[in-house]
């Protein structure tokens, strides 16, 4: 086949450094940008195969999220905008690791195992973040796509969640929205403006102000692009917009969450709301400093609590019997879990770290709110739930109070990017909820008090010696580790601690 010759020829322009071994981890491949050119080309090839197999458009995003500027990475996006199917992650790893002369064999192996019809058309959407290495690396992806005869659309600079959104729009024939960046702003901002029409009477104009730390990345660029669509209903002061500072350096959601302090480069008065995005804008955390100068972080757990409380209240007002659950990971603050289960009476599930695990667990409910403590999360509505909300909103005999709740629910569905966690979409939803409830960030923060906690990362020679169970909350190996943790934890009231191997770095992480 002509395409295989093209692949051979082209792949020699994207050679693999001999003996380099890489793995498709929790969030795709991540490494120093210099080690990724061959992987990008090969992910272009794999995306074509995945597209042929699913008979749908597939996405490839070039980003290393919150990692330093020197790094880069790549992940594939499946037809409904979700993460790549797990069984295909091992194909990604096999292709990435095939030595130059074995690449065609590795490729044919996937084709055979998946019984791929090579005459099927293939389309791949490609996007990239603002890293200096991203342009040439995304070109390598495009080269891979064309070498195997696939069609591609290059979206250029987009946030990770924007690319996920485009893929879903494309594969649902526009039902989810228009597969353009403008279409994305239009859908989300229109829903936001509809929501904000219901703002509480005590909500002052001052409360329209929000400071955003763009982590010197793609999120900053996109917030700027979106602003005109907000019709001054949200007044954003943008910091770390990439004009001076370095990507993710002493700023961004990961820095703020791990360091528990404000990002550098932001000017914000005591009591005012601020939020930080990460480097590819799929995470968000909020914060404020009180009059005593104390920093208060409102992380993914606080966000999940705010959103699920809002949704639960609306469901009650609308008289809709839909099952809502919150999905968290081992990192969730014990106070949030306690508050959700005992005060809010919502079901809480715990899964392993990594968006794909949370996403799948959330799909089991009518409404699944999932958030990692680090600020990555979204809300999923089942088809049946969306239908019930629509019907109620459109039914002429619905009484006023129920109708108001149904319309609020409907616009909440529209403002949310259900494909993956999305800092921009989450921000609009949170801002709308605070305005509708007439709530300050201090009141939101006071819903429950976080138990004090610390996160630690330790470099180890082989992280695989640690194996965990119970959604990563207990270590089963090495022998004696869990017993040692238990005996320490026993000394404190309401205490908890765990150790787990990272899925993205050569470290083990612990929380206490
Ligand atoms: C990635 C994951 C995130 C996880 C983080 C740390 C996705 C899209 N992102 O950013 O979910 O929390 O890595 O994972 O899955 P780690 O603690 O295993 O290194
Ligand atoms: Zn990210």
Residue ID of nearest Cα to ligand 1 atom 2: 354
User: Residue 439 falls within a domain, yes or no?
Assistant: no
More confident residue, 43 or 464: 43
**CATH code of the domain containing 401:** 3.40.120.10
Question: Which of the four pLDDT bands, split at 50, 70 and 90, describes residue 228?
Answer: very high
In a domain, 176, yes or no: no
Both 140 and 275 in one domain: the answer is no
3-state helix, strand, coil in the chain (%, to 5): 45, 20, 40
Question: Whole-number mean pLDDT of the chain?
Answer: 96
Q: What is the pLDDT of residues 279-331, one digit of tens each?
A: 999 999 999 999 999 999 999 999 999 999 999 999 999 999 999 999 999 99
Which residues span the domain enclosing 383? 300-422
330 and 407, same domain (yes or no):
yes
Q: What pLDDT is attached to residue 1?
A: 57
Considering the domain architecture, whether residues 290 and 417 belong to the same structural domain is answered as no
> Which of 2-11, 300-309, 348-357 has the least mean pLDDT?
2-11
| Distance from residue 60's CA to the centre of ligand 1 (Å) | 18
pTM (2 d.p.): 0.96
Which CATH number is 472's domain given?
3.30.310.50
Say which DSSP state 22 is in: -
Residues 293 and 322 in one domain: no
* Best probe residue, ligand 1, of 23, 24, 26, 28 (max atoms within 8 Å of C-beta): 26
Which atom, in ligand 1's list, is nearest to the CA of 421? 8
| Ligand 1 contact via 376 beta carbon (within 6 Å) | yes
pLDDT of residue 2: 61
Looking at the fold, whether 133 and 272 belong to one and the same domain comes out as no
For residue 379, how far is its CA from the centre of ligand 1 (angstroms)? 18
Buried b (16+ CB within 10 A) or exposed e, 185-211: bebbbebbbbbbeebeeebeeebbebb
From the CA of 66, the nearest ligand is 2
Task: Give whole-number Cα distances, 168 to 28, 120, 321, in Å.
Answer: 19, 20, 28
Q: What is the pLDDT of residues 128-160, one digit of tens each?
A: 999 999 999 999 999 999 999 999 999 999 999
Q: Is 6 in the pocket of ligand 1 (CB under 6 A)?
A: no
Residue whose Cα lies nearest atom 1 of ligand 1: it is 27
Cα 58 from Cα 52, distance rounded (Å): 9
- Quick one: 135 and 84 in the same domain? yes
**Residue 463 forms part of a structural domain:** yes
Question: Does residue 105 sit in the same domain as residue 28?
Answer: yes
Q: Is residue 416 part of a domain?
A: yes
Indicate which ligand has the atom closest to the C-alpha of 159. Answer: 2
Q: How far is CA 143 from the centre of its chain?
A: 27
pLDDT tens per residue across span 84-128: 999 999 999 999 999 999 999 999 999 999 999 999 999 999 999
**Residue 16 predicted with pLDDT over 80:** yes
Q: 334 and 293 in one domain?
A: no
Q: What is the pLDDT of residue 248?
A: 98
ipTM rounded to 2 decimals: 0.95
Q: Is 348 helix (H, G, I), strand (E, B) or coil?
A: strand
377 and 308 belong to one structural domain? yes
- Tell me how many domains the chain contains: 4
Let me know whether 292 and 308 are in one domain: no
Check whether 494 has a pLDDT greater than 90.
no
From the candidates 11, 65, 308, 425, give the one annotated as an active-site residue.
65
Q: Percentage of residues in the chain with pLDDT exceeding 70?
A: 100
Contact 505 CB / ligand 1 (< 6 Å): yes
Q: Which residue has the tokens 């993956």?
A: 420
Domain final residue pick, 232, 263, 298: 298
Token pair 């049946």 in the structure block, residue: 384
Alpha-carbon distances of 472 from 358, 465, 501, 511, rounded to whole Å? 13, 14, 9, 11
Query: SS3 for 161-217, per residue?
Result: HHHHHHHHHHHCCCCCCCCCHHHHHHHHHHHHHHHHCCCCCCCCHHHHEEEEECCCC
- Going from the Cα of 505 to the center of ligand 1, the distance in angstroms, rounded, reads 10
Is 65 annotated in the active site? Answer: yes
Per-residue tokens: 229: 């669509």
DSSP 463: G
Residue 264 burial (CB count, 10 A): 13
Report the share of the chain in percent with pLDDT over 90: 92
Among 121, 145, 128, which Cα is nearest to 52's?
121
Q: Looking at the structure, do residues 137 and 233 belong to the same domain, yes or no?
A: no
Measured CA to CA in angstroms, residue 103 lies from 37, 67, 292, 346, 389 at distances of: 15, 29, 61, 50, 50
């Amino acid at each position: 086949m002509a395409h295989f010759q093209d692949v051979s020829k082209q792949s020699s322009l994207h050679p693999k450094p001999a003996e380099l071994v890489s793995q498709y981890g929790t969030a795709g491949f991540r490494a120093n940008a210099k080690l990724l050119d061959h992987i990008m080309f090969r992910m272009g090839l794999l995306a074509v195969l995945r597209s042929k197999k699913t008979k749908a458009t597939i996405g490839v995003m070039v980003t290393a999220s919150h990692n330093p500027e020197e790094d880069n990475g790549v992940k594939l996006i499946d037809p409904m905008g979700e993460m790549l199917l797990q069984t295909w992650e091992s194909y990604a790893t096999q292709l990435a690791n095939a030595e130059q002369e074995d690449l065609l064999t590795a490729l044919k192996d996937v084709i055979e195992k998946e019984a791929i019809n090579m005459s099927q058309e293939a389309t791949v959407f490609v996007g990239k973040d603002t890293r200096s290495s991203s342009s040439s690396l995304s070109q390598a992806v495009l080269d891979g796509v064309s070498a195997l005869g696939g069609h591609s659309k290059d979206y250029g600079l987009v946030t990770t969640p924007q690319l996920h959104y485009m893929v879903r729009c494309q594969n649902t024939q526009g039902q989810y929205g228009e597969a353009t960046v403008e279409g994305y702003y239009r859908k989300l901002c229109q829903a936001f403006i509809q929501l904000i029409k219901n703002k509480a009477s005590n909500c002052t104009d001052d409360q329209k102000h929000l400071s955003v730390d763009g982590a010197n990345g793609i999120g900053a660029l996109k917030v700027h692009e979106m602003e005109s669509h907000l019709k001054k209903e949200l007044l954003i002061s943008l910091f770390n917009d990439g004009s001076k500072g370095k990507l993710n350096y002493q700023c961004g959601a990961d820095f703020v969450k791990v360091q528990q302090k404000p990002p550098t480069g932001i000017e914000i008065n005591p009591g005012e709301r601020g939020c930080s995005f990460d480097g590819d804008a799929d995470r968000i955390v909020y914060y404020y400093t009180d009059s005593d100068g104390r920093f208060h972080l409102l992380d993914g757990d606080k966000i999940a609590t705010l959103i699920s409380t809002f949704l639960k209240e609306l469901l009650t007002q609308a008289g809709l019997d839909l099952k809502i659950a919150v999905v968290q990971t081992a990192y969730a603050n014990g106070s949030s879990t306690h508050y959700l289960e005992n005060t809010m009476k919502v079901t809480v599930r715990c899964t392993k770290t990594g968006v794909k695990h949370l996403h799948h667990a959330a799909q089991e409910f009518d409404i699944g709110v999932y958030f990692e403590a680090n600020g990555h999360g979204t809300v999923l509505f089942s088809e049946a739930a969306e239908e019930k909300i629509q019907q109620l909103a459109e039914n002429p005999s619905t009484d006023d109070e129920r109708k108001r709740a149904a319309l609020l629910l409907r616009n909440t569905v529209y403002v949310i990017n259900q494909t993956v966690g999305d800092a921009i979409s989450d921000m609009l939803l949170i801002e709308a909820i605070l305005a509708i409830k007439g709530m300050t960030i201090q009141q939101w923060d006071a819903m429950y008090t976080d138990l004090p906690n610390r996160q630690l990362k330790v470099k180890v020679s082989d992280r695989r010696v640690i194996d965990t169970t119970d959604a990563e909350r207990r270590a089963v190996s090495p022998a004696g580790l869990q017993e040692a943790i238990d005996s320490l934890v026993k000394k404190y009231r309401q205490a908890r601690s765990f150790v787990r191997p990272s899925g993205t770095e050569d470290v083990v992480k612990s929380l206490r």
